[in-house]
Amino acid sequence: MQKIINLDLKNIKRHLTGGEKIIILSFASLIAGFFVFSLVFSNPTFASENITTNVLIEPSLTVTIPSAPLVLNLDPASKTYDSKSFPVSVATNNITGYKLSVSTTGDITDLTRDISSDTTTLPTYTIPTLDSGSSYAAPSDFPANKWGYKKDSGNYIPFSSPTPLLENATATNGDTTTLSFASKIDYTLASGAYKTTLVFTATTNPMVNYIQDLNPALCTTAPMTVVDKRDNEEYTIAKLADGNCWLLENLRLDISDPSVQAKLTSATTNATDETLNYLKNGGGSSPYPANGVIAKTASSGSWPNDYANPYIATQYRDTIQPASGSSSAGKIGIYYNYCAASAGSYCYAADASSGDASQDICPAGWHLPTGGASGQYQALYTAYSSNVANFEAALSTPLSGYFHSGAAYGQGAYGYFWSSTRLNGSRMYYLIVDASAVNPQISNYRDFGFSVRCVLK
């Protein structure tokens, strides 16, 4: 939706044009009611019939600007500075909200003198916006022959095109901001009207399917895109032949990123807040990491044979590798040692005994697949009749290799994927794939860096 204001510095007048909806979202609310009637016989009986009532709610996105004209008069002899304000509001029933911005025609921020009525030939005069980075609160500080704007009670600042004004992530009955425009002149400017056109553009936000909020009924055999709340990364998921909903890409969650760590909670991750706090902050006693070190090998250049601390390798995160068994390919993602893959919950010494991992860095509601002869990897392989090509094409397994001792190995030849199942001692089951084979019942040491896949609980 766009609405237009003509800005005239001799007379600032506001003109609205017809609105144009940029995004139209159709949806309906369904209300089911029951209409009951009775039939009376010698022995009373009752019958009922369901009547469905459909209520259609039309999509709405409205930008409101007052219709009263705004006049800004400037005179170098008596009134060198002037400002005027007006409210702008947005209302929408789009449940994911909107964004509102304002821009100038052609993104030119100078106000240009209107010479359409001049009969003499004069040079072109303009009034540029305030200098970049400047901010003015009082008219006495405002520089001559400049113009600027402010929102609400802020200072006047340079106008950039486009400029974000309002946004909301939910439906709203009305968000409002007050815009103010100001200018100051001296005798060096020619008299006349200096103009530009302000275009207000509102767009509805697209619908987002967060992986943490996924209704299992929505996961079908048709692949769909979901978003991880922790880093806004998009993934593809689908229901595969075993009847489970699988993540069809390698996890790319950088748990060393402070912005990601701030969102690592039990509401977003398949781990308790206590475990995640150890992962993020360190400290505590076994089995949690002693110092909370999360080393990115892209910067450290090494990967110690360490079972007690979480390590990740991020330098190949978005590198594309071929997927065996099909013509598709996928991103390598991030390599995680088992301490990291288990969200810091499985960081025992190399020879310690333990059960299976019950916590991990999968999104909340998802988990690491189980391994071994009776695990979910094996069950999925069996569901595809132990056909390597069909299994690998369905799970979309890039040949991402593995990471250890500061280097990547097997990229383009093998893919390695952690499970939640322990074999013995320091060994955990994992899935390995290559161009001609699948083995869901193999194990390796927990200090290796493998890929992570997740399955819906």
pLDDT at 385 over 80: yes
Sole residue written with tokens 């009670």: 153
The pTM (predicted TM-score) of the whole model is 0.63
pLDDT at 283 over 90: no
Q: Which two tokens stand for residue 136?
A: 């003015």
In whole angstroms, give the CA distance from residue 357 to residue 359: 6
Count of helices and strands (H, E) across the chain? 6, 27
Which of the four pLDDT bands, split at 50, 70 and 90, describes residue 47?
low
pLDDT at 11 over 60: no
Q: Given this model, what pLDDT does residue 43 score?
A: 54
Q: Give the mean model confidence (pLDDT) for residues 129-147.
A: 95
Q: Give the mean model confidence (pLDDT) for residues 278-282.
A: 70
pLDDT at 331 over 90: yes
Q: Residue type at 221?
A: T
Q: Which two tokens stand for residue 276?
A: 């995640």
Q: Give the mean model confidence (pLDDT) for residues 291-297.
A: 51
Q: Rounded to 10 degrees, what is the CA torsion of 370, 283, 426, 395?
A: 30
pLDDT at 74 over 50: yes
Q: Given this model, what pLDDT does residue 120 score?
A: 62
> For the residues of 331-345, what is the DSSP string, one character each?
E---EE-HHHHTTTS
**Chain segment 183-240, per-residue pLDDT in tens:** 999 999 988 888 888 899 999 998 889 999 999 999 999 999 999 999 999 999 999 9
Q: Is the dihedral of CA 258, 261, 262, 263 positive or negative?
A: positive
Query: Which residue, 225, 211, 198, is CA-closest to 367?
Result: 211
Q: Given this model, what pLDDT does residue 23 score?
A: 26
Which of the four pLDDT bands, split at 50, 70 and 90, describes residue 328?
low
pLDDT at 13 over 70: no
**Angle (deg, nearest 10), helices 388-395 and 376-383:** 120
pLDDT at 18 over 80: no
In whole angstroms, give the CA distance from residue 437 to residue 184: 76
Q: Rounded to 10 degrees, what is the CA torsion of 339, 343, 348, 353?
A: -110
**Chain segment 333-379, per-residue pLDDT in tens:** 999 999 899 998 888 777 777 789 999 999 999 999 999 999 999 99
